[in-house]
Structure 1
Amino acid sequence: MTATTTLHDYWRSSSAYRIRIALNLLGLEYVARPVDLVAGDQRGADHLAANPQGLVPVLEIDGLRLTQSLSILEYLNETRDAGFLPANPADRARARALAHAIAMEIQPVCNLRVARHAVALGGNATMEGWMTHFITLGLEGVEGLLSQGPDLPFCHGTAPGLADICLVPQVYNARRWGVALDAFPRLATIAARAEALPAFAAAHPDRVKPAS
């Protein structure tokens, strides 16, 4: 009997969203274990036992308990021949750079706990102002990186890969915070193309949001 794959998930987490997309692309069935970040479930003893960082996602697969979305994506790529990264080292470097520009530059600054702390320090900062400033700044960079490369259907290839898996959740967050995408035609076109794919559509937060 195959061990159950379990994803410790929060429906609006862009990191967890990435893993939902990847699992769907691979056709891997999994059991979702919701972790309500707003309610503070991530600080509970059960979740801290799964991930001492108190973050999502956590993926239980192959007898392992994996954390950090990019690490999980690389593991799935290596163990499932997923094709999330190109074969050529130079192409892999560019694909990773695009993914990292989102997952390591935009998302950490726009993490809710970071933004809330910044607003709590006082001054004129608001959640909306913080999010729109850093999302816009980050997407400007991603658009620039895309524009330096070839005009391809996806971020770096003819099929969705690591960068696209990171891009779509970030575009969702941009829309959530009212960031207009008109200034980013390249990434907006790629994101729309990816969002239309069943694996991406099924991972959308609106599709996995727990019933209230």
Structure 2
Amino acid sequence: MSRPILYEYWRSSAAFRVRIALHLKGVDYESRQIDLREGAQNSAGYRAINPFGLVPMLEIDGHRLTQSLAIINYLDLRYPSRPLIPAVAAERAHVVSMSLSIACDIHPLNNMRVLKYLKNELGHSQEEVDSWYRHWISEGLPAVEVQARALSGAFMFGDGPTVADICLVPQLYNARRFDVRLDDYPTLLRAEENANKLDAFAAAHPDRQEVPA
């Protein structure tokens, strides 16, 4: 069986999520960097295999999978020994809801193509773009903090990592890059601290990845 291939960008939040999941599942994979700064995602070669032109994309078991949460769901079913999404319906909905709040409500407003459009096409200053970034993180995290608090333990849900923590850690990494104040989110910070103690999270960190020249 061929080794899975992850098409990614080292600082992409979505790719960061998938790396964490692959490490948690113990899946050995090959990383292929798609340099978003240079527009490699729009190359004819990459568009031929991924018409969306986004990262990550995972080639595994003869499939080409896109969208980080869909990939993580596949990995959770494919390698069920260490579940990342609860089986009980209400618990599953809770964890998926927290994940989507980050991955669909906060992150898309702040990804690279949005920020570039704000600056290049709409003519906003870098200061205005950075303010936009901080606003949407600060708008979303308070609700995630309240939601997580209800059933949290060492992690956002209970005492083991789930897909919610996989979404949280890259988002807080980005928040710090833009100097977002995080003191009001003790539940999220506790989950992040415990997650970052795990080898899988540490190995997936952007600082540990190959950076395109």
Question: For the superposition of Structure 1 and Structure 2, which TM-score range results when normalised by the shorter chain?
Answer: over 0.9
| 2:104 paired residue number | 104
**Structure 1 residue 211 displacement after superposition:** 6.2
- The answer to whether the 8 A contact 1:7-1:59 is kept is yes
| 1:138 paired residue number | 140
For 2:2 and 2:26, how far apart are their aligned partners in 1?
15
Q: Write out per-residue CA displacement over residues 139-181 of structure 1, whole angstroms, 9 at most, x where no aligned residue.
A: 112112112x134111112210110111111011101111121
| 2:63 paired residue number | 64
Give 1:128's match in structure 2, choosing from 114, 127, 130.
130
Letter in 1 for 2:189: A
Give 1:173-192 correspondences, 5 Å limit.
Answer: 173-192=174-193
TM-score (norm 1): 0.94
How many equivalent residue pairs?
A: 210
TM-score (norm 2): 0.94
For 2:146 and 2:50, how far apart are their aligned partners in 1?
35
Letter in 1 for 2:179: G
Tell me the SS of whatever aligns to 1:201.
helix
* Structure 2 unaligned spans of 5+: none
Provide the aligned C-alpha RMSD in A.
Answer: 1.4
Tell me the SS of whatever aligns to 2:38.
coil
Letter in 2 for 1:9: E
Letter in 2 for 1:164: D
Tell me the SS of whatever aligns to 1:38.
helix
Tell me the SS of whatever aligns to 1:76.
helix
For 2:40 and 2:124, how far apart are their aligned partners in 1?
30
Letter in 1 for 2:181: A
Give the percent of matched residue pairs that are identical in Structure 1 and Structure 2: 45
Letter in 1 for 2:148: L
- Greater mean alpha carbon deviation, residues 125-134 or residues 62-71: 125-134
1:86 corresponds to 2:86: yes
Give 1:1-212 correspondences, 5 Å limit.
Answer: 2-81=1-80, 82-119=82-119, 120-122=121-123, 126-147=128-149, 149-210=150-211, 212=213
